[in-house]
Structures are given as structure tokens and as C-alpha cells.
Amino acid sequence: MPPADASPRPAPSCHVHKFGGSSLADASLYRAAAALLQDPARPRVVVVSAMQGVTDTLITLVALARAGGAWADEWNTLRARHLAAADALQRDGSVHAELEAEFDALADRLTALAAGDSDDSTDALPGLGEVWSSRLMQAALGGSEAGWHRLDAREVLVVHAGEMGMAVDWADSRARLAAWRAGRGDSNVVVTGFVARDAKGHDTTLGRNGSDYSAAIFANLFDADALTIWTDVDGVLSADPRLVPEAVCLPSMSYAEACELAYFGAKVLHPQTMAPVQERGIPLWIRNTRRPQLPGTLISPRNEPGGVPVKGLSLVRDLAIVELVGNGMVGVPGAAERMFGALRGAGVSVTMISQGSSEHSICCVLRADQAERARDAVAAAFADAIGDGQAQGVTLTQDIAVLAAVGDGMVGTPGVAARLLGGLAQARVNARAIAQGAGERNLSVAIGAGDATRALRAAHAAFWLSPQTLSVGVIGPGQVGSALLVQMSAALPSLRQRSGLDLRLRAIANSRAMVLDERGVEPADAAARLGGGAAEAVDLDRFGDHVRGEHLPHALIVDCSASPTVAAHYPRWLARGIHVVTPNKLAGSGPWERYAAIQDASRHGGGRFRYEATVGAGLPVMLTLRNLLDTGDELFGIDGMLSGTLAWLFNRFDGTVPFSRLVREAQALGYTEPDPRDDLSGLDVARKLVILAREAGRALSLEDVDVENLVPEALRAVDRDTFLARLEEMDEPMLARWREASAQEKSLRHLAQLDRDGRASVGVVALPAEHACCHTRLTDNLVQFRTRRYADNPLVVQGPGAGPDVTAAGVFGDVLGIAQSLGSPFGLAHPWAADARAEVIA
């Protein structure tokens, strides 16, 4: 056994970190990135992208120069940006000087290009951004004095163009890296991403977004025990967050899943990233530079069991379908082979293939820019069969996108395809072709390009959202609206946790302004947001469109305004399946035609219309009535005290105090409308009675109600001040009625009545002392239902029936009632829903 000190010292394993351009936009972000690397326990290798947007600018500069255009301004701006970052980060002037020299060299190349120099090494110029960035990162980390070396990947990384993109010459690269490391020990290194060199020694790049791939290659070459890719999102999300705002971060996934997602367009990872780390089983973390406290996504050989069977959804656009149709091909061997042979011959790569078992048609999805070539090649290969009538022909459909659902858990889980297609059906997206590999890890659906975003959102909702997710808009945060927002703010978190009820306030409006927010408005912030700079002029059609947003399963608008303009929108919203809840009496008691239009729209469009708070505020009046009728009871009549103001007045009126004084007192207590005639006229009570009668199936309108107006004739047309000044004119007639009633040992009460024949009246009546209405307190409302089951002893609902808090509670109750009754619009129970919900909540 060799002596211990003679054995080669095992190199301490290192951790490779990669920062994308999105995390490197200016000097302060380089500093923030450097701060994330404080792990002195083991060597660190940091792979950097160019500063944000630099690769694009370099590509533009080259194109401009080639076309003979003016590139100097862009070049100057780019140079100034880098020099400013260098000045902020470096200790001496060395980085500044190096960058100046490199920008001068770039200017020389651009000048040569503009002069017609066709040097093909210009393909490598876009990689300069990574070279500059590596200098800035080295400076941010304290430079070589702090033990940080800089490695230009072009010195060691040798690649060649392979079938699936750039492939690494591993042996060569490994030997070159070993040579570079010799004498440098296990030091910390900053490496340029994206760039490499070919076997002939020419500079090249790994393709757009290739720094992720660079990072994985260097993790392999350095024998790293971990790779962290730092970016601007929390990890790999269930879908592209720019298209699906409620995408969730996936805690873990397998290399294979990540690979499928990346190949199908998830920009967060370059598709070739996984292979080099998978080969050595190196765990790969995706984390957010701006939220380093989060764990991010772990991509590793292991796949955590359980949870949603689909890990992610992605979209590939700019595709086309080429389809070969032929009755005569049924059972003929070799048709598929001939078709794919033709495509291979034409250099066309196929994204997706679908063939029905009848073999009547074979359908390929391929890149749009290769589609005509593909069609012509297939047509040529089948020219004989087409001539003989065995094949009908080859068709080409442009403007296609493919939606892919990816996940190891799809293997052997029934119902995944049903759920995906159910979601698409819900969003009215037509599936043109469907394919699932026998591996069951990827389910792909070809759809029209115009449907792509809608399809992605609908599919996402079908897999990830609680079936009781509602997109909510609130209009008119006045007193009731504000109270509702306070109640929602307090209740929403526990509703989400306890019952999976996910109410998302996504739009708010008052009579002037509105705020539409994709991710949601915190109810407590709603008022401030409406008054803030981001508010826009109110537009109820856009408000409805936003609330309906196709990516959430259900939509609901709460109208707390008293605006006829808003009420006029109800039929339109209900017809689109948007539920409407309101404490506003206008619609329920307005013209019969509008009421009928609302009911009609609701029946056909599926949106429900609820207005419990219009009668008795938070008291369960409508609910009770509906339950009676729905369970087969028969309504004989309704008696009720439906106005808190009038209830209070007649509770207090005992002949000792003039009625006018009580009216003034009620006004001072804030019980009356600003003009007390609005209460005394009985009209408001009549509206409530109309609402109740209609709910009971009677086609009653306001004109049909016999309303006693308590305001004397002479005071009805005068202005408000005159009315208040002459209030005493009410006293004498009111006192006379009281005397008459008390002579019969009765009390006066203001009552709304609906009888069995549909006759409706509102006014003051004298009731015997034992009547329930004579046993109410303060502003109590009371409603008596006389029905077949409750014939002798009526069913009574009684309690405080006014005030913003109880009214808002009535509105909130309606919202919850609707939410709780909603199932999945996708029409299928899904066994993994509970797990999915847990993940979303966590």
C-alpha cells in the first residue's frame, strides 16, 4: 500500500453556478450574483451569459454592418454600458482597459464587414458578450487577488455541429481543460458561457440560449457535484409564465422530463443542457437570483412520486401539418416508410406523427418553413399511387402549433388525455392531430396557431387549478363594496386552505376608473390601486373580458354600484357564463323585459344571477324562499317588514312624540336615505316585494304593486329642503291613524304583502299585538312565508336588515354559494386534484 502522502489527493468536488443574462443587466446585479456565491467550503465555477440583451445587439450590429448600415451608435451605447459596469465593479482600471481594447477590435471587424469582407468567423461575434461579461463577473468577485481565475471557454471547449445541435469533443476538451488547470490548483473560476471553438480552431457558439448547455458541459468537465442555474423565475414552472400567469413552480423533475419540456420550447432551459449532467448524475437546480430564499426546482435522476401526473405544458409554434390521405393504403406495407424516407431525403425533420389504425391517413407535423418542401417530396414519392387513385393526395395546413403535456407520471395514469382534451374542448379549441409516444411521457396535440395561448391556459387550468377557482371582478367599491373587500381579505386565505376555494380578485372598478390585473389584486389594496396611477378609464366591456379570462375555470362579477349602466351589462355577462352577484335592486325589480332577458341569458349562457342582499341585506330571505320552492312547497303568501328605516319609525311611534321628530331623529342617526321621501314613498319596499314575487315565479312589476306613499300629496313635488321644513304636515294624519289603531288595541307597522293570487301591496297597516311584526327591535327586517307546509304557523326570517357590513355579508354569501356549487368545467373528476391543490398552496 503506498504511503498516504504519496496517493494523489482527490480533487474536492466543485459546484458550478450559471447566471443568465436576465440576472446580469447592470453592475448592481453582478454584485448581487457574486453575493450568492459565498461558499468557501469547495471550489466554485461560475459560467456567465452576456449582459441582458447584449447578444441580440451584437447580432444586430453584425447585420447592420453587413448591410452597409450605420452601426456606430449602437456600438457606442453597448461600449458605454460595459465600461460603466466595469468602472463600478473593478478595483483598478484594468477591466476598463481590456474592454476598451476588445470594443476597438470589434469596431475594426465591423468596419471590415461594412467594406465587404466576408470572413465567416463573424458568426462567432455574438459570443463577445460572454467574454465581456466574464471580465465583469471576475471583477465583481474581487478579481484574481481574491482567488478567481477567468477561463475563456474558447481555450478549452471544442465542439462540432451534430444532428441535434452542437456536440462536444469530450476527450479533446477534457485534455485541454486539464492542461489549463495544471498549476492553477482547485481555484475558483469564472467561465464564458455560449462560446466554444471548433476542431479547426475557429470561434463559434452553442446556439441561442446556449449558456445553460455551457454550464452543464463544464459541470461535467469539472466533475462537479452540483450545478445551479440562476435565472429570473423561481424554477421550472408548469408552463411559460408569460402566457400562463398562474403557472406554478415545480419542486422537482427528472432529467427526462426537463429534456422533453425544453425540447418543446420551455425557454428556461436550453434543450441540450440535461445530457452532460445526466451522464454523471449531477443534480441540477434552477433558482431565482431575485428570490434566493426559495429552493427552486431540482432536476435529478430521481422523480418524486405523487402529485400531478403532468409536470409541465409547453408550446411549439410555427409548424404545419402535411397529411397523406389514401383509401388504397389500408393494409399496404411500407407506406409510412416511403413517406418518411421522402421527408428524410428532403432534409425535413418531423416534430410529431399521427396515424389512425385504419392507416387511411398519415399526418406529420413539421416546421412551417420546411412544409412546402415536405409536401412536394411526399407528393413526388406517392406520384404513382396518386395517379392510380390509391392515394387521394397530400394536403398542407399552415399555422399550426403543438401543445405538449410532459410528465413521467403520465405513464400508466388513466384520464390524462381525457383531461387535456376536456380542457381544450372547454376553451373551444379543436385538436387537429394527437400523438402519444408509447413511453407515455409526452402527449402532443396539434392545434391552430390562433388557438395556441388559449389552449395552453385551458390545459393548465384543467391540470393545476382547483375546480373552484373563480376570477372575480368587483364594481363600485362604495360602502358595501368596501365592506365586502374587507371581508374577502380576511376570509380568502382560509377558504383556499380549507375548501380549495380559490377566489382571485382580478378586476376592480368605480364609476370612473378600473384596474385590471392578471395576477390579482390584494382586496385590502383595492381602493388604493383604484386611486393610483395604474388605474385606467372604466370600460365595462373590457372589464367583463378581463374577468372572463379564458385561463381560469370560472368568472364572477360583483356589482356593488347602483348604476343602471352596469345593470344593463348583466345579460351580456351572464350569456358568456360570467356569474353576477349584486345588492343592487335595479335589475331584479326593473322592467320585466330586462328581468326576463337576464333570466334568459343566465339559462342559456350558464352564468348565475344572485341578489340575496337586495332583500333583508345579509338575512337568508331569498335562500329560504328558494329552498321552500325547490323542495316542492307551495307559496300562499308573503308578509314582511322590508325597510329598516320604516321599521324603526313605527317601532318608535307610540303617539307621544310627533312623527316628524322621529323622521328627523332617524335622519340624524343615518337610517334614512339623504332625502327621507325615498323611504317614506314605499317605493324601495315595493321593489323588494317585486324581487321576492319574481323569485317565487310571479311575473310582477312595480306598476302592479299597490303602494301607499306616506308623503302627503302637497310635499311630493317640492324640493328636499322645503320638504324637511314642512315635515310637521305629516304629524296630524299619522297621529289620527295611530289613535284609530290603538282604539282597537293594534299597532301600526309598515308592511309589504303578497297574497296567493299575486296581489301585492305596500303600506301602513294596523296589526294585533300578537303579530310577529309587533315583536321586532330597532331596524329589524322580518319576512313571513306562508306555504302549504307552513300554513298555520308561518316560517319567519328576522334580524337586522340594513347596514354595509350585513349587506356585504349577504353579497359574500352569494359569491360563496356559487363558488361552492361549481364543479370542474372540464367535466371529469381527477384523483390527483387534491395533491395538485396542496402543491399550489405550498
For the annotated catalytic residues, the residue numbers are: 688
For the record, the C-alpha cell of 612 comes out as 340575496
CA distance 559 to 582: 5
The one of ligand ASP, ligand ADP, Mg ion, none whose footprint includes residue 625, by CB under 5 to 8 A per kind, is none
**What is the DSSP code (8-state) at residue 532?**
S
Report in angstroms how near the CB of residue 212 gets to ligand ASP at its nearest. Answer: 6
Are 457 and 465 in contact by the 8 Å Cβ rule? The answer is no
Report in angstroms how near the CB of residue 166 gets to ligand ASP at its nearest. Answer: 12
Report in angstroms how near the CB of residue 481 gets to ligand ASP at its nearest. Answer: 47
Q: CA dist 96 to 25, 125, 144, 406, Å? A: 17, 20, 16, 47
Report in angstroms how near the CB of residue 593 gets to Mg ion at its nearest. Answer: 58
CA distance 278 to 216: 9
Residues near 136 by beta carbon (within 8 Å), at least 6 away in sequence: 24, 27, 30, 51, 82, 85, 86, 89, 95
The one of ligand ASP, ligand ADP, Mg ion, none whose footprint includes residue 228, by CB under 5 to 8 A per kind, is none
Binding to Mg ion by residue 300, rule CB under 5 A? no
How many residues of this chain interact with Mg ion, rule: CB under 5 A? 2
For the record, the C-alpha cell of 376 comes out as 412536394
Show the site string, 179-218: x = touches ligand ADP by CB under 6 A, - = not: ------------------------------x---------
CA distance 556 to 501: 13
Hey, how many other C-beta atoms are within 10 angstroms of the C-beta on 202?
A: 13
CA distance 31 to 35: 6
Window 277-316: residues binding ligand ADP (CB under 6 A): 312
Stretches 33-41, 231-239, 302-310, 574-582: which one binds ligand ADP (CB under 6 A)? 231-239
Helix (H, G, I), strand (E, B) or coil at 391: coil
Phi, psi of 406, rounded to the nearest 5 degrees: -125, 135
Which residue number has the CB closest to ligand ADP? 20
Report in angstroms how near the CB of residue 274 gets to ligand ADP at its nearest. Answer: 14
Q: What is the contact surface with ligand ASP in residues (CB under 6 A)?
A: 20-21, 49-50, 55, 129, 193-194, 208-212
How many residues of this chain interact with ligand ADP, rule: CB under 6 A? 19
Show the site string, 195-234: x = touches Mg ion by CB under 5 A, - = not: --------------x-------------------------
What is the 3-state composition of the chain as percent helix, strand, coil, each rounded to the nearest 5?
Answer: 45, 20, 35
Using the minimum distance from each CB to ligand ADP, give the nearer residue, 236 or 696.
236
Report residue 563 CA to chain centroid gap.
29
Binding to Mg ion by residue 273, rule CB under 5 A? no
Show the site string, 49-88: x = touches ligand ADP by CB under 6 A, - = not: x---------------------------------------
Binding to ligand ADP by residue 133, rule CB under 6 A? no
Which residue number has the CB closest to Mg ion? 209
Stretches 28-36, 91-99, 225-233, 503-511: which one binds ligand ADP (CB under 6 A)? 225-233
Window 9-38: residues binding ligand ADP (CB under 6 A): 20-23
Report in angstroms how near the CB of residue 498 gets to ligand ASP at its nearest. Answer: 44
Which residue number has the CB closest to ligand ASP? 211
Binding to ligand ADP by residue 272, rule CB under 6 A? no
CA distance 232 to 221: 26
Show the site string, 816-835: x = touches ligand ADP by CB under 6 A, - = not: --------------------
User: Binding residue for ligand ADP (CB under 6 A) from 54, 64, 233, 521?
Assistant: 233
Report in angstroms how near the CB of residue 289 gets to ligand ADP at its nearest. Answer: 8
User: Binding residue for ligand ADP (CB under 6 A) from 239, 343, 385, 635?
Assistant: 239
Using the minimum distance from each CB to ligand ADP, give the nearer residue, 22 or 582.
22
Report in angstroms how near the CB of residue 210 gets to ligand ASP at its nearest. Answer: 5
Are 768 and 748 in contact by the 8 Å Cβ rule? The answer is no
Residue type, 59: I
Binding to ligand ADP by residue 240, rule CB under 6 A? yes
Window 569-598: residues binding ligand ADP (CB under 6 A): none
The one of ligand ASP, Mg ion, ligand ADP, none whose footprint includes residue 208, by CB under 5 to 8 A per kind, is ligand ASP
Using the minimum distance from each CB to ligand ASP, give the nearer residue, 211 or 228.
211
CA distance 777 to 761: 23
Are 581 and 557 in contact by the 8 Å Cβ rule? The answer is yes
Stretches 123-131, 218-226, 262-270, 351-359: which one binds ligand ADP (CB under 6 A)? 262-270
Report in angstroms how near the CB of residue 22 gets to ligand ADP at its nearest. Answer: 4
Binding to ligand ADP by residue 241, rule CB under 6 A? yes
Are 497 and 518 in contact by the 8 Å Cβ rule? The answer is no
Report in angstroms how near the CB of residue 267 gets to Mg ion at its nearest. Answer: 6
Q: What is the DSSP string of 806-817?
A: HHHHHHHHHHHH
CA distance 305 to 412: 13
Using the minimum distance from each CB to ligand ASP, give the nearer residue, 142 or 207.
207
The one of ligand ADP, ligand ASP, Mg ion, none whose footprint includes residue 510, by CB under 5 to 8 A per kind, is none
Task: Give first-to-last CA distance, the chain, whole Å.
Answer: 54
CA distance 763 to 468: 44
Using the minimum distance from each CB to ligand ASP, give the nearer residue, 153 or 649.
153
Using the minimum distance from each CB to ligand ADP, give the nearer residue, 232 or 376.
232
Window 8-67: residues binding Mg ion (CB under 5 A): 20
For the record, the C-alpha cell of 751 comes out as 308592511
Pick from 793, 739, 788, 799: nearest CA to 771 = 793
Residues near 829 by beta carbon (within 8 Å), at least 6 away in sequence: none
> Is residue 732 classed exposed, middle or buried when 0-12, 13-18 and 19+ CB atoms within 10 A define those classes?
exposed
The one of Mg ion, ligand ADP, ligand ASP, none whose footprint includes residue 584, by CB under 5 to 8 A per kind, is none
Helices (H), 500-612: 526-531, 540-548, 564-567, 570-575, 585-589, 592-605
Helix (H, G, I), strand (E, B) or coil at 804: helix
Report in angstroms how near the CB of residue 120 gets to ligand ASP at its nearest. Answer: 20
User: Binding residue for ligand ADP (CB under 6 A) from 149, 267, 594, 698?
Assistant: 267
Residue 337: which H helix or E strand, with range?
helix 335-345
Q: Which long-range contacts (CB under 8 A, 24 or more apart) does 593-598 make?
A: 594/567, 594/568, 595/694, 597/571, 598/570, 598/571, 598/574
CA distance 429 to 442: 19
Binding site for Mg ion (CB under 5 A): 20, 209
Binding site for ligand ADP (CB under 6 A): 20-23, 49, 209, 231-233, 236-237, 239-242, 266-268, 312
